[in-house]
Amino acid sequence: MDFFTIIFFVIKTTTSQILNYIDEENTETVGGLVQGSVKLRCRGATTFDPFTHSVYWYDTVYNTDENPILIFSSINNTDFNPNPNHPKSAHYLIDFSDFSLTISSLDLDNDPGCYFCVVELDGNVTFRQSYDLTIFGPPECKGEFEVTENVTVELTCLANHSGKLLPKLRWFKEENIMKGRSSVEVRRTTEVVSFTASSNDNQVKHICQMTYGNGLVEECEGIMKVQFFVRDLTIEPNKRTFFVKEEIKCSARGNPPPKVYFGTASVLAVKGITKSKSLQIQSSWADQVRKENEIKDNLDKVTDQTYLVLTAIIVGASVLLVLIFVCVVVKKRQKRKLNRTAHMRKEPVRV
């Protein structure tokens, strides 16, 4: 039987007796993330002379009976003995400067539980530092992030965990906290938010924040993509009468981005212009502007028409000029007729 086996046997058989002589004890609850690591400090080890004291690390996680399993032992700072038979010995690392224990590759199913170090002097445990470790899975954001306007959206954030601690989940719309519904099941916590999607939610980031352990934070997020009808048709400059060669611009808002057309009332001659189009007004221009987009779920197209009245003004002016001309011509003819009648009255009557 080698030296380590003897030491391990002695420690295992006397653990329950040794732990009855604790002068000082400290217990903490800590949290770690799946596939991450956590560092546990043996706080009492640095306050004693390592050449006169011995330090041991145990856990009750991988035990098959009621006795703790030895992870590491340091006897009078001369023998440093990690337990090679421990099921997770490859993922344990001891820092000999302060006897802290780092556990890596954390596992949700196997690693939660109690870990503790003891400092011993002359067979009596003078200090014990215990940790109750909870393992958390990263938060998951679920729900429909691509929707149509006015649809009720439900987003769910869930986090798996194993141990005594529970995570705190919160939803944020950008930086604003959202009111949600929390529920806790065995090894799982969820936070649900519901809202009616609007055009203002398009391209807005929704974040679920998980706070766990000693104030540690993990997040997941999704960006809303909201499809909405065309709206906010704008013509610049904002007026109804335009001069020849004056430039106008038309734009509209929608998702998918709308197409904006200029063309005659009967046939739209210019098509396929996305978002905006500008042109210069020509004389007698009486065309229209049209906006439209198509939403994936085959909702009807939306059309808005704006008519320009320049031609009406020109036609009205032309009619007025014609009326004036007609009046002048009629007046001249009446004057000539009166002059002819007066001349005929002045001539003598011949017998």
The CATH number assigned to the domain holding 254 equals: 2.60.40.10
Task: Mark which of 190, 223, 256 sits at the end of a domain.
Answer: 223
Residue 292 lies in a domain: yes
In a shared domain, residues 147 and 66: no
Q: What domain range includes position 270?
A: 232-311
Contacts of 231 (CB under 8 A, 6+ apart): 199, 252, 253, 254, 302
In a shared domain, residues 25 and 87: yes
- Go through 294-327 and write b for each residue having 16 or more CB atoms within 10 A of its CB, e for each that does not: bbeeeeeebeeeeebebeeeeeeeeeeeeeeeee
Given a cut of 70, the residues of the chain with pLDDT beneath it are 1-24, 44, 46-48, 50, 63-66, 76-79, 239-246, 260-316, 336-351
Q: Are 103 and 92 in contact (CB under 8 A)?
A: yes
In a shared domain, residues 81 and 128: yes
pLDDT for position 190 = 98
Contacts of 75 (CB under 8 A, 6+ apart): 7, 54, 81
Q: Are 191 and 57 in contact (CB under 8 A)?
A: no
Residue 258 lies in a domain: yes
In degrees rounded to 5, what are phi and psi of residue 204? Answer: -95, 135
Residue 331 lies in a domain: no
In a shared domain, residues 219 and 123: no
Which SS3 state, helix, strand or coil, does residue 242 take?
A: coil
Q: What is the C-alpha separation between 31 and 218, in angstroms, rounded?
A: 12
Residue 120 lies in a domain: yes
In a shared domain, residues 86 and 117: yes
Residue 110 lies in a domain: yes
In a shared domain, residues 196 and 245: no
pLDDT for position 43 = 78
Residue 338 lies in a domain: no
In a shared domain, residues 16 and 95: yes
In degrees rounded to 5, what are phi and psi of residue 337? Answer: -65, -40
pLDDT for position 307 = 42
Task: Mark which of 107, 135, 163 sits at the end of a domain.
Answer: 135
In a shared domain, residues 218 and 279: no
Residue 323 lies in a domain: no
Closest Cα partner for 260 from 234, 237, 239, 280?
234
Q: What is the DSSP secondary structure assignment for residue 105, as one 8-state letter?
A: S
Task: Mark which of 203, 223, 243 sits at the end of a domain.
Answer: 223
In a shared domain, residues 116 and 22: yes
In a shared domain, residues 205 and 96: no
In a shared domain, residues 89 and 158: no
pLDDT for position 223 = 97
Residue 339 lies in a domain: no
Number of domains in the chain: 3
CA torsion sign for 296, 306, 272, 201 is: negative
Residue type at position 37: S
Contacts of 81 (CB under 8 A, 6+ apart): 4, 7, 72, 73, 74, 75
H/E stretch holding 74 reads strand 69-75
Q: What is the C-alpha separation between 52 and 120, in angstroms, rounded?
A: 9
pLDDT for position 341 = 60
pLDDT for position 245 = 65
Query: What would the pLDDT profile of 180-227 be if each residue is shown by its tens digit?
Result: 999 999 999 999 999 999 999 999 999 999 999 888 999 999 999 999
In a shared domain, residues 127 and 24: yes
pLDDT for position 233 = 72
Query: What would the pLDDT profile of 217-274 be if each residue is shown by its tens digit?
Result: 999 999 999 998 877 777 777 766 666 666 777 777 788 877 766 554 444 444 443 3
pLDDT for position 226 = 94
